[in-house]
Amino acid sequence: MKRIAAIGLVLCLSACAVRPPETGRQALADVRRWYADTSDRCPGGADRPAALCSGVLLRATENNPAFLPWNPSPASITRGAVSFSYLRADVNYTNLVFTYRNGYILYPSDKRPKGSLDVAVLCAFPMDADTYNRPTEQGCGENTVDRSPSATRACDAQGIESLAQWKLLFAAMENTYSGQCGWNVREGQPGAAARFLLSLRAHEAMPDAQRALANELRLATWPKDSGTRLPIRAFFYVPAADGALAKAQDDQRRYRAAYGVSMPILRLNLPVVVGARATFDYEAADQSPVPP
C-alpha cells in the first residue's frame, strides 16, 4: 500500500509539473476570447478602460541567462513602469518591438487569478513611443530628445481628445516614434476608457508604415521575484521567426525550474499585411520536454 501511495505521489508531482494538454488548450481559449472581445470599456464604471478586461497584453522579451525575462529590469524598477503591447481584433500589427519574437502574455486585470498581482495600466501610445527617453510620469511624459518635447506630453494634458486632433499633431511631428503623445488611462481617471479606445483608433488610423508597428502601453512595475503571483497566462512565440520557439521553450523551462509550473507556450501568428488579423494556436509539440 505504501509503495502504491509513493508511486501515486511521483505521478502526481510529474503531472503537476507537466500540465496536461487541456491546460494549454484552455490558455488558448482564454487568449482567443480576450482577443475577440472589442469592448469599449469594462464593467464596474464608465471610465474603466477596455485593457482591464479585454485584448491581449503581451511583452516581447530577450533571452538572457543573467536574468529572468518576467522580472522587471533595473530601468523599469527605477522608472516605475514596464512596456507592453496590446493586440485585439480591432488593433493589429505585423511587427513586435525591436527584433524580439517571443515573450509572455498577462491576464487582463479583471480576469486574473485570485491572489495574483493587479498590474495597473498607466498610459497608452498608438505605437512604440521611445519611452526610454521619457523619464517622467513612469514613461508616460514628454520625450526629452524630440525636437519639440512639449508636444510629446500626455495627449490629455494638451487637450487632445479626438482622433482628428491626434492625427494633426502626429503629422506635424513627422510621424516619428518620439513625436507622439499618449493618453493617461489610469483606472479611476475621468475619461480613461474613452482615451484608451482613442489610442487604439489612432493606431489603426496611422499610415501603413507606422500601423505595422506595435503599440505601447506602460504598466506599473511589479516587485522583483514575484513568481507565480505575476499573472502570466502563457508564453508565446512567432513561428515565422527563426529561433523563437527555442527561446520560448527556454523561458518555459526556467519558469518550471523556478516555480514547478509548466506555463503553456502559444503560437502568435502575426498578420503579414497591414490591416489583417493576428491568430493564436497551441501545439503540444511546441512544449519543452520535462526532464525525468
- Tell me the pLDDT tens digit for each residue of 158-186: 999 999 999 999 999 998 889 999 999 99
d(CA 289, CA 248): 12
Distances (CA, A) of 106 to 28, 55, 236: 13, 10, 11
Residue 291 lies in a domain: no
Q: Decide if 258 is inside a domain.
A: yes
Helix axes 163-172, 192-205, angle to 10 degrees: 50
Among the ranges given (12-26, 86-100, 177-191), the one the predictor scored with the smallest mean pLDDT: 12-26
In this model, does residue 13 exceed pLDDT 90?
A: no
264, 292 contact by CB (below 8 A): no
Q: pLDDT tens digits, residue range 89-124?
A: 999 999 999 999 999 999 999 999 999 999 999 999
Cα(138)–Cα(123) distance, integer angstroms:
9
| Structural domain of 259 | 2-286
pLDDT at 21: 59
Residue 281, domain member (yes or no): yes
- Give the pLDDT of residue 219: 99
Looking at the structure of the chain, the number of domains it has is 1
For residue 17, pLDDT beyond 70: no
- Domain membership flag for residue 133: yes
The residue-averaged pLDDT of 261-286 equals 97
Q: Considering the domain boundaries, does residue 292 fall inside one?
A: no
Least confident of 7-21, 173-187, 218-232, 266-280: 7-21
Residue 94 lies in a domain: yes
pLDDT for residue 4 is more than 90: no
